[in-house]
Amino acid sequence: MMLERLTSAELSPVSHGFFTRRGGASSGIFAGLNCGRGSSDQSEAVAINRARVAEAMDADHDALVGVRQVHSARAITVDGPLDPETEADAIVTATPGLVLSVLTADCQPVLFADPRAGVVGAAHAGWRGALDGVLDATVEAMEAAGARRADIVAVIGPTISQRNYEVGPEFLDTFLAETPDNARFFANGQGDRLQFDLPAYGLHRLRSAGVGHAEWTRHCTYDDAERFYSYRRSTHAREADYGRLLSAIRL
């Protein structure tokens, strides 16, 4: 099966893709294109999947750059191969040929590009990273590499939607501690539960950072099990583990 690669016209002509789980070598609960080396999937299957992504991005496997994601606000700039155990949650480069990648399974994968300056970025932004400023840090790192904020396009890929993201009152308190205006990203749920709009919050942070254009592809990871892995859906199903989706961009 061919890999399925979601793209955004706004990032064109920069090569990029939010890859779905279709077309991979993994089986069982990981069935499809699981690219998470930190999962309990067979390492051989994950390696095959990552090689297929690199090929789809017209690059050698060694050019596929990723980090050990830790839900931080750390963005790093790279110009060559990187130790995959490097801890960060965003990567920026101005080096042609490097394929920047992030892994997600409900968190936001965000791809950035300033084609005019020749600078791209990729960020993993869960609620903690987004609140702590990983998207802002990515924009700052791109600017330091020569990009202009007004020329940066940022696209949020498949992530969990508000209707499927139930949280408790203490979660709301954490966001209100930053600013009471964050209440607008929450809707009432059952009892004391609330529904958090992660992509809307991500778009807010991107636009506040001054990027020229920001959008969400409007794909929900929780809703579509045939195309996307979802940590929360796997938890509700009491599965032992879950696959990771890969999103990538290169100059």
Residue-wise pLDDT for 159-168, tens only, equals 999 999 999 9
Residue 1 has pLDDT above 80, yes or no: no
> How far apart (Å, rounded) are the C-alpha atoms in residues 197 and 185?
5
**pTM of the predicted structure, to 2 decimals:** 0.96
Residue 192 within any structural domain of the chain: no
- Give the number of other Cβ atoms within 10 Å of residue 238's Cβ: 6
Give the pairing type, strands 64-65 and 75-77: unpaired
The enclosing domain of 112 has a CATH number of 3.60.140.10
Mean of the pLDDT values across residues 110-116?
97
What total number of domains does the chain contain? 1
Could you report the per-residue pLDDT of 171-183, keeping only the tens digit for each? 999 999 999 999 9
Residues in the chain: 251
For residues 124 and 114, is the Cβ–Cβ distance under 8 A?
Answer: no
Helix (H) or strand (E) holding 234: helix 231-236
Structure tokens at 122: 């990729």
The residue behind tokens 């990203």 is: 185
Residue 74 within any structural domain of the chain: yes
Please provide the average confidence, as pLDDT, over all residues in the chain: 96
Residue 62 within any structural domain of the chain: yes
> How far apart (Å, rounded) are the C-alpha atoms in residues 153 and 11?
6
Sheet with 194-196, edge to edge strand ranges: 166-167, 194-196, 186-188
Residue 46 within any structural domain of the chain: yes
Residue 125 within any structural domain of the chain: yes
Look up the domain containing 14 and give its range. 5-161+197-250
Indicate the SS3 state at residue 104: strand
